[in-house]
Chains A and B, each alone.
Chain A
Amino acid sequence: GQQLNQSPQSMFIQEGEDVSMNCTSSSIFNTWLWYKQDPGEGPVLLIALYKAGELTSNGRLTAQFGITRKDSFLNISASIPSDVGIYFCAGQLNYGGSQGNLIFGKGTKLSVKP
């Protein structure tokens, strides 16, 4: 089945630094989504990308849908302590009998040094 390769697995950064993470796939997706999950909580949608090449921002977050539709990246600018958590990319296919279930990457665990 389809798999997403998300990197890095984890990262420690200094407060105020910029962060970048990405996902790649051997398969094409119609939609890329980025979620943040805090321990014991449900994933929270950060950004949704619908078109190849699309660049979308949400506050300090910027994400892009790769032109080949097989990759996406997420950037966080000027990180703050509350950015700590696990970030998941998710790809989505909408076709035929598939009603859009998500395929998740393995996550990037972000830790910020105060």
Chain B
Amino acid sequence: AAGVIQSPRHLIKEKRETATLKCYPIPRHDTVYWYQQGPGQDPQFLISFYEKMQSDKGSIPDRFSAQQFSDYHSELNMSSLELGDSALYFCASSLEDGKQNPWDEQFFGPGTRLTVL
């Protein structure tokens, strides 16, 4: 079965550079979530989109922005990178299927490992 695709898998940047991470959800999934996971930490929610509209916002720095496109893929744009931005960035997708709990099952991608030097 098709899974969530993230690219690139690894990214090395210098401080103050910009980075763009891409996420391709599972086919027919309309909701995308971004999470950041630092070393030895649990994933922290950054931002989510439903039907191309931002649906919720977590601990996302102002230096970061994201959007969801008409084909439901999403991009996380990161500017003025700092050493502390080094982390695994996960995208997860789910389908709003009209059940009582429509956003229950989030499926995660393999992640993008960002290293800021």
Which residues from chain A sit less than 8 Å from chain B, CB to CB?
30-31, 33, 35, 40-45, 48, 50, 88, 92, 94, 97-107
Contact = CB atoms under 8 A, between A and B. Distances in A.
Contacts, number: 77
Contact of A42 (B55, B56, B100, B109): B109
B52 to A, nearest CB: 13
- The 5 residue pairs across chains A and B that have the minimum distance between CB atoms: A100-B103, A99-B55, A42-B108, A104-B42, A101-B45
B48 interface: yes
A100 B94 contact: yes
Contact of A41 (B45, B92, B104, B110): B110
A2 to B, nearest CB: 11
B104 A50 contact: yes
A61 to B, nearest CB: 15
Contact of B104 (A31, A40, A107): A31
A1 B84 CA distance: 22
Interface string B25-63: 000000101010000011111001010000110100000
A101 B33 contact: yes
B113 A88 contact: no
Given A43-B43, A100-B48, A107-B42, 15 more contacts: A33-B104, A33-B106, A35-B108, A42-B108, A44-B108, A48-B105, A50-B100, A94-B102, A97-B55, A99-B103, A100-B31, A100-B104, A101-B33, A101-B58, A102-B33
A23 to B, nearest CB: 11
B111 A103 contact: no
A97 B103 CA distance: 13
Interface centre among A31, A50, A100 (most CB of B within 10 A): A100
Nearest to B96: A99
B24 interface: no
Contacts of B94: 100
Contacts of A48: 104-105
A31 B102 CA distance: 11
